[in-house]
Amino acid sequence: MAKQKKTPAIQIPSGDAEIICRDFEAFCKYLVEHKAKLSKTTAHIGKKDCFELNRLFHRKEEYEKATRFQKHYPVIHFFYYAALKYHILELNAAETGMVYGRNYTLFQNAPILERYTLFLLNFLYDVNFLRDKYALSHIRPFFQWYETTKPETGNVYPCMYGVFPDEYSSEKGITAHLEELRLIRIQRKGEMQAAFVPWEIEVLPALNAAFRLYHEIHIREEGIWEKEKKIESFFLKSMDVLEPGQKKYTLSEIFMPAQIEILDQTVDLEVSMRYYDCSRTIRMNQRNSLYDLHMMIQEAFDFDNDHLYEFYVGKEPLQKTYSVPESMGSGAAESVYKTALGKLSPRKGMKFTYLFDFGDSWWFEIKVVKIADGSVSKPVIVKSKNPAPMQYPMWDEEYDEEYDEDYDEDYDEEE
């Protein structure tokens, strides 16, 4: 009886794994040690610092001047997302720069393979770091191509995408991440021609490991994981495959949520209507929920509470959405009923947004203006500026009569 051929173990070359880890370490140190300033509106890295960071990486964008935004540097945008998501770096109190986060030392002390695997899985399963949130549709065809072609390591194959050198696109972002993760190497042919650069890909050893992980964990077992724990579940499963027999992994702790203490304090929130010069300041307890805040805003601006609504906290790509079950179809939002104001870690100067009525789109800007010890028996309005506009403006009676007359004259009922 012929011996059954043993499937080789999945291995990721250590040299390839080290490259992205070195680049990420350089990214973190540059932002903190150079005190790189962030945009006041987006909290993104500025053009000059993006240009300098790009020069530190093994995979570089071919820009000659510091004229592009963070979104035009796919690797920087990816590192920015991962650093903040896992609290490896954190925004300073003023949100104008970065400081080392609570998990920086944990991440730096983790084995190279664990760090690389975390990057790989975030690229495969969490595409919020891309401007196009549906960019996963571009990743799947790549793996379908891999399964059909069965490319061999070291060989060169025609590409599937066109790279547009001056504009950020999902395709360009994905190929940049594939290169940074040392899955492929782009073989460019010739000079830039108009807005299109033809290229081919060289398959690197790590691509085989990535595809096998994707196939064994995603395709075979997709759907068994809780959505909010998907990356964590995939990480633990991947490490079990890559290092069989290992009982504990250093980075398993990075998925643990921060313990936020809800204090016995009141928070004064200045709620301003976008496009209107009117505001209300609401005082409530940290223990009050976002639903309580919603109800107070409705009362403060004399609205009818007859539409869906959402709160948006933080900046893209890590912005969080808080909503009601009726509008949480995607499962991405968190419940306003279960979220206390204190869970947002309010601090003086903090800002977030409230949208009421997805049709008429009433936008409100919310700012924390004061935090004090103590409590209130119920949320209360402590300051009011200018009358609020009517939620449903009344028709002018004369215009209404003219409209009815014109309508009747033009109406021709079919028999």
pLDDT tens readout for residues 33-66 = 999 999 988 899 999 999 999 999 999 998 999 9
Question: In the structure, what pLDDT confidence band is assigned to residue 192 with cuts at 50, 70 and 90?
Answer: very low
Structure tokens of 71? 């979104």
- 343-395 pLDDT per residue, tens: 999 999 889 999 999 988 999 999 999 999 999 999 999 999 999 998 888 75
Task: Name which residue leads in pLDDT, 140 or 124.
Answer: 124
Using the predicted structure, report yes or no on whether residue 415 has a pLDDT greater than 50: no
Q: Is the pLDDT at 399 greater than 50, yes or no?
A: no
Q: How many residues does the chain have?
A: 415
Contact 332, 321 (CB under 8 A): yes
The answer to whether residue 172 scores a pLDDT higher than 60 is yes
**328, pLDDT greater than 50:** yes
Which of 2.60.40.420, 3.10.290.30, 3.90.245.10, 3.30.450.90 would CATH assign to domain 265-385?
A: 3.10.290.30
Please, what is the angle between helix 170-180 and helix 74-85, to 10°?
A: 70
Say yes or no to pLDDT of 412 above 50.
no
- Estimate the crossing angle of helix 112-125 against helix 74-85, to 10 degrees: 110
Query: Which is it for strands 320-323 and 334-335: parallel, antiparallel or unpaired?
Result: parallel
- The whole-chain average pLDDT of the chain stands at 83
Q: Which residues contact 411 (CB under 8 A, 6 or more apart)?
A: none
Instruction: Map out the domains of the chain as residue ranges.
Output: 14-255, 265-385
What is the average per-residue pLDDT within 114-120? 94
pTM: 0.80
Asked if pLDDT for residue 28 goes beyond 90, the answer is yes
